[in-house]
């Protein structure tokens, strides 16, 4: 039995890691190992495999280990939740199969397909495959598995949780001003991560004051401790119970993030969110909190016309609609800065960006730029404008 036949049978025998055969790199390798054909056909399969492997760094051993450690399978799910797996012998054998595949050299493949011409070489790092995999399992509760091991921010698409392709890279050190407000959010998040009581949080106030950036910066700061973010948009509120139930089975900690939360009327979306905030049966999970932002302290817009109508208990209805914000355990206000704070933000951002303009000139230009209203966003836009003009 040659190397290629062993690779083919090894991949066919996988049980725990069976899903790896759907991986684009490993799938191409299987096609190469399993196929009969002319030398020309095998050379084409070799090139197709090498092309996708080089897209991932060109190191077969390192790639195999990354894929194994990130695989969502029956063993890792049981291990992550501290349950017995009963799969130790199977795991040991399959890790040896993957280790053998990771050692497969380009020269050995060329020999098997009977081709002596040039084909590119890939790398095979020396890795103790089983030891490295088990070392990763020790931190699976904070590292995650599957898509949650590779990404930190997610959204919903057709009811399914999917990774955000280009997540906001904002860091806490990028944010200037509003330190007291951020510390409240950070403190609540750290309590959540450490298994202490934590509240659902509403960040409300004026536009451009850093509410959304604060939430995303907190996730960027603490994702290595097992924190992830799933963003829900306005037309997805009714999906929240299903998402909460799904995430509740994961060992990681999740912020369910709702940006620009508001309602114009009492509807199914309102009651779906209200049920989660009140702790319905579907929402009872210790690994999820809701963080929402809003420009309004009261999340339901109340019109004078709402005070009339056929509902004989209309006052109670209005109170219910307008009291949704009270169901958040933590409310943090972000309001437009006064002139002093605005200019402090401008100066701090100026140092951060390394602009040349300073002193009274900087302050005068910053005030002119913010003629439409002072905000942290206006300060950053002004500094970015100055930086672009200096470049």
pLDDT level of residue 88 (50, 70, 90 thresholds): very high
Between strands 201-205 and 330-334, the pairing is parallel
Provide the pLDDT for residue 70: 87
Question: Is residue 267 over pLDDT 80?
Answer: no
Task: Return the higher-pLDDT residue of 276 and 185.
Answer: 185
Q: What is the arithmetic mean of pLDDT over 114-135?
A: 92
Question: What tens digit of pLDDT does each residue of 168-189 get?
Answer: 999 998 888 889 999 999 999 9
Lowest mean pLDDT among 17-26, 75-84, 158-167: 75-84
Query: Of 137, 123, 55, which is closest to residue 95 (Cα–Cα)?
Result: 137
**How distant, in Å, are the alpha carbons of 29, 108, 308, 318 from that of 315?**
68, 79, 9, 5
Question: In this predicted model, what pLDDT tens digit does every residue of 51-79 receive, in sequence order?
Answer: 999 999 999 999 999 999 889 899 998 88
Q: How confident is the model at residue 391 (pLDDT cuts 50, 70, 90)?
A: low
Predicted confidence (pLDDT) at residue 202 exceeds the cutoff of 70: yes
Query: Between 3.40.720.10, 2.102.10.10, 3.40.50.970, 3.40.50.300, what CATH number should domain 151-334 receive?
Result: 3.40.50.300
Q: Provide the mean pLDDT of the chain.
A: 86
Q: What is the pTM (predicted TM-score) of this model? A: 0.75
Two tokens at 196? Answer: 């202490």
The 10s digit of each residue's pLDDT in 338-374 is 888 889 888 988 888 888 888 888 889 888 898 878 8
Q: Mind spelling out the 3-state secondary structure of the chain?
A: CCHHHHHHHHHHCCCCCHHHHHCHHHHHHHHHHHCCCCHHHHHHHHHHHHHHHHHCCCEHHHHHHHHHHCCCCHHHHHHHCCCCCCCHHHHHHHHHHHHHHHCCCHHHHHHHHCCCCCCCCCECCCCCHHHHHHHHHCCHHHHCCCHHHHCCEEEEECCEEEECCCCCCCCHHHCCCCHHHHHHHHHHHHHHHCCCCCCCEEEEECCCCCHHHHHHHHHHHHHHHCEEEEEECHHHHHHHHHHHHHHCCCCCEEEEEECCCCECCCCHHHHHHHHHHHCCHHHCCCCEEEEEEECCCCCECCCHHHHCCCCCCHHHHHHHHHCHHHHCCEEEEECCCCHHHHHHHHHHHHHHHCCCCCHHHHHHHHHHHCCCCCCHHHHHHHHHHHHHHHC
pLDDT at 318: 43
Residue 14, pLDDT above cutoff 60: yes
Question: Residue 263: its pLDDT value, please?
Answer: 66
Residue 121 main-chain phi, psi, to 5 deg = -90, 145
Domain boundaries, the chain: 3-139, 151-334, 339-390
Residue 323 pLDDT class (50, 70, 90 cuts): low
Average pLDDT of 237-247?
87
pLDDT confidence of residue 279: 64
Residue 97 pLDDT: 95
What pLDDT is attached to residue 44? 95
pLDDT at 196: 92
State the pLDDT confidence band at 207, using cuts at 50, 70 and 90: confident
Q: Does residue 298 contact residue 322 with C-beta atoms inside 8 Å?
A: yes
Q: How far is CA 175 from the centre of its chain?
A: 20
| Between residues 368 and 155, the one the model is more confident about | 155
- Region 229-250: mean pLDDT is 88
Token digits for 384?
């970015």
Find the mean pLDDT for residues 285-295: 88
Instruction: Report yes or no: 91 and 43 within 8 Å, Cβ to Cβ.
Output: no
Instruction: Give the whole-angstrom CA distance, residue 386 versus residue 381.
Output: 9
The residue to which tokens 């509240």 are assigned: 199
Residue 199 has a pLDDT of: 92
Percent of the chain residues past pLDDT 70, beyond the cut:
89
Share of the chain above pLDDT 90, in %: 47
Tell me, what's the pLDDT at 201?
A: 93
CA distance 32 to 143: 33
pLDDT tens by residue, 369-390? 988 788 888 888 998 898 888 8
The separation between the first and the last C-alpha atoms of the chain, rounded to the nearest angstrom, is 64
Higher-confidence position of 63 and 136:
63
Q: What is the pLDDT of residue 224?
A: 93
Return the C-alpha torsion angle 297, 302, 304, 307, nearest 10: -120
């Amino acid at each position: 039995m040659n190397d290629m036949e062993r690779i083919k049978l090894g991949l066919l025998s996988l049980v725990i890691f069976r899903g790896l055969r759907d991986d684009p790199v490993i799938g191409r390798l299987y096609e190469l190992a399993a196929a009969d054909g002319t030398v020309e056909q095998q050379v084409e399969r070799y090139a197709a495999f090498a092309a996708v492997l080089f897209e991932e760094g060109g190191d077969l051993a390192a790639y195999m280990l990354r894929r194994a450690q990130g695989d969502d399978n029956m063993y890792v799910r049981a291990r992550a939740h501290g349950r017995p797996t009963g799969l130790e012998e199977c795991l040991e054998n399959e890790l040896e199969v993957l280790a053998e595949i990771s050692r497969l050299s380009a020269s050995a493949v060329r020999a098997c397909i009977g081709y002596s011409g040039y084909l590119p070489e890939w790398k095979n790092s020396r890795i103790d495959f089983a030891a490295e995999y088990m070392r990763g399992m020790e931190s699976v509760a904070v590292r995650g598995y599957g898509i949650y091991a590779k990404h930190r921010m997610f959204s919903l698409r057709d009811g399914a949780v999917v990774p955000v392709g280009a997540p906001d890279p904002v860091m806490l050190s990028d944010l200037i001003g509003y330190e007291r407000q951020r510390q409240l959010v950070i403190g609540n998040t750290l309590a959540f991560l450490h298994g202490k009581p934590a509240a659902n949080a509403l960040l409300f106030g004026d536009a451009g004051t850093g509410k959304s950036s604060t939430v995303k910066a907190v996730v960027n700061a603490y994702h290595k401790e097992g924190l992830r973010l799933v963003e829900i948009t306005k037309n997805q509120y009714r999906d929240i119970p299903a998402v909460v139930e799904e995430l509740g089975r994961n060992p990681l900690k999740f912020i369910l993030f709702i940006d620009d939360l508001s309602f114009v009327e009492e509807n199914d979306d309102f009651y779906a969110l209200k049920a989660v905030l009140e702790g319905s049966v579907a929402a009872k999970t210790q690994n999820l909190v809701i963080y929402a932002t809003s420009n309004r302290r009261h999340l339901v817009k109340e019109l004078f016309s709402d005070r009339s109508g056929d509902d004989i208990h209309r006052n109670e209805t209005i109170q219910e609609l307008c009291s949704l914000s009270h169901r958040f355990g933590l409310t943090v206000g972000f309001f437009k800065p006064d002139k002093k704070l605005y200019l402090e933000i401008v100066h701090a951002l100026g140092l951060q960006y390394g602009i040349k303009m300073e002193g009274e000139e900087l302050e005068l230009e910053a005030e002119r730029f913010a003629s439409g209203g002072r905000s942290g966003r206006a300060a950053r836009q002004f500094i970015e404008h100055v930086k672009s003009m200096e470049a």
